[in-house]
Chain A
Amino acid sequence: MENVRNLINITDLTLDEIDHLIEVADDIVANPTDYQDICRHKKLATLFFEPSTRTRLSFEAAMLELGGSVLGFSEAKSSSAAKGESVSDTVRTVGCYADIIAMRHPKEGAPIVAAQKTVVPIINGGDGGHFHPTQTLTDLLTIKRRKGRLNNLVVGLCGDLQFGRTVHSLIEAMLRYENVEFVLISPNELRVPEYIKEKMNEVGVKWTETTSLEEALPKLDILYMTRVQRERFFNQEDYIRLKDSYILDLAKLKLAKEDLSIMHPLPRVNEISVEVDDDPRADYFFQALCGKHVRMALILFLLGIK
């Protein structure tokens, strides 16, 4: 059992392993026919105890494109979990049917429990507010492809930085690269939690906090947008006062660098105005493509194929 690799948290992967995944992801684009049958007769199970159509489709598309097949369920309601079956029992059973499992669960630590119960590799597709490592891999591949590097970057993170797990993971992942500076753009109510600041201070990276997107924009290489949710605010006035200042539109974009890369984990609501979609700096749909490629590379890696 010890030799089985899982992906629960992005820090389960070394920098070399992340580099390897990025290389394979690029090779998949360069030589697609080499990969189209590479997972023939292999099965991926997608166990989504909580619905997330986007993430699930990305995993399934990845496996299908590798020539493998997929099985699973898309919400607890339609599965045995609705009848009260535990994660352990579900995974033990599915481990007999599939070669690899991608799972999402509303409770934190569920994939760790799963990994203890099967010899099949487990990929964490999100466990509550805890980890979502394949999103982070997606983000890293997108940055690498757009910027050609993962070091020497000024990364702006904007929106709900308190509860946004994708933001926390991305910071944690990028802390490991040289000379990355973080600009944290959020309303005072939704700042990055203390433990993330402690981590940044431990590593000694440069980071600044601001409430103004306009102020931050000119120096950014990457702008990672997230949604500011109404229910996070204590009163409506604050929400109404603040919500527009964290919406990216073409007027604000005039302040940005020509080669800015705009990212968003999706789904978006209105925090990026649709008029931005046709701007060459808009990378959030490209990100979705990167997500499929990096999941293909990850499946191959965990299956020990490449």
Chain B
Amino acid sequence: MNVDGVKNGIVLDHIKAGESMNIYQLLQLDKLDCCVAIIQNVKSEKYGKKDIIKIDTELEVDLDALGYIDNHITVNVVENGELARKLHLELPETLTSVIQCKNPRCITSVEQEIVHKFKLVNKEKKTYRCVYCDAEYK
């Protein structure tokens, strides 16, 4: 893994080609004042094409949110310019404040302060249901 340009931070590798901007937005990387590099369409032996995001700051990434979007992403933690550890993602059992329930009959639709929460009900189909109203997220 090439961690050039990152001293203390993380490198998100094996992002599905074309998905890097979505992840950039989801993790709100535009709010950081450090160097963020997005590399698109990198040739990968394993996956054909992939995207990479390099973030040069120690950042607490919401691994659940990232795992929900794409659990093939690898999170490389860089310390002092060296790869310190690799984290592999899993489809999270629960998702908190990542997706919003769209059921207009759900209590979350009227009470703004309630934290939107979903539970994984089917791993193969990647189905999540709202913990309040049981509506499937689509």
Contact = CB atoms under 8 A, between A and B. Distances in A.
Contacts of A107: 105-107, 109-110, 133
A109 B108 contact: yes
Contacts of A32: none
Contacts of B106: 107-109
Interface residues of A, number: 15
Interface string B106-134: 11111101100000000000000011111
A88 interface: yes
Query: Looking at chain B, what size class is its interface with the partner chain?
Result: 10 to 19
A110 B132 CA distance: 7
Contacts of B111: 86-88, 113
A88 B113 contact: yes
B103 interface: yes
A83 to B, nearest CB: 14
A127 B105 CA distance: 10
- Label chain B's interface by main secondary structure: loop
A108 B106 CA distance: 5
B128 to A, nearest CB: 15
Given A108-B133, A112-B132, A87 B107 contact: yes
Nearest to B135: A108
Contacts of A113: 107, 111, 114, 132
A145 interface: no
Nearest to A128: B105
A105 B105 contact: no
Contacts of A86: 111, 113
- Tell me which of A106, A109, A113 has the highest count of chain B C-beta atoms within 10 A of its own C-beta: A109
Given A86-B113, A88-B113, A130-B134, A110 B107 contact: yes
Contacts of B108: 109
B103 A108 contact: yes
Interface string A111-124: 01100000000000
A109 B110 contact: no
A171 B133 CA distance: 19
B121 to A, nearest CB: 11
A193 interface: no
Contacts of B131: 109, 112
Contacts of A130: 105, 133-134
A88 to B, nearest CB: 7
A104 to B, nearest CB: 13
B132 A129 contact: no
A88 B115 CA distance: 12
Nearest to A127: B107
Nearest to A106: B105
A119 to B, nearest CB: 19
Interface in A66-109: 86-88, 105-109
Nearest to A116: B114
Interface in B81-117: 103, 105-111, 113-114
Residue from B107, B109, B130 whose CB has the most chain A CB atoms within 10 Å: B107
A129 B104 CA distance: 12
Contacts of B132: 108-110, 112-113
23 contacts: A86-B111, A86-B113, A87-B107, A87-B111, A88-B114, A106-B105, A107-B105, A107-B107, A107-B109, A108-B105, A108-B106, A108-B132, A109-B107, A109-B130, A109-B132, A109-B134, A110-B132, A112-B132, A113-B107, A113-B114, A113-B132, A128-B105, A129-B105
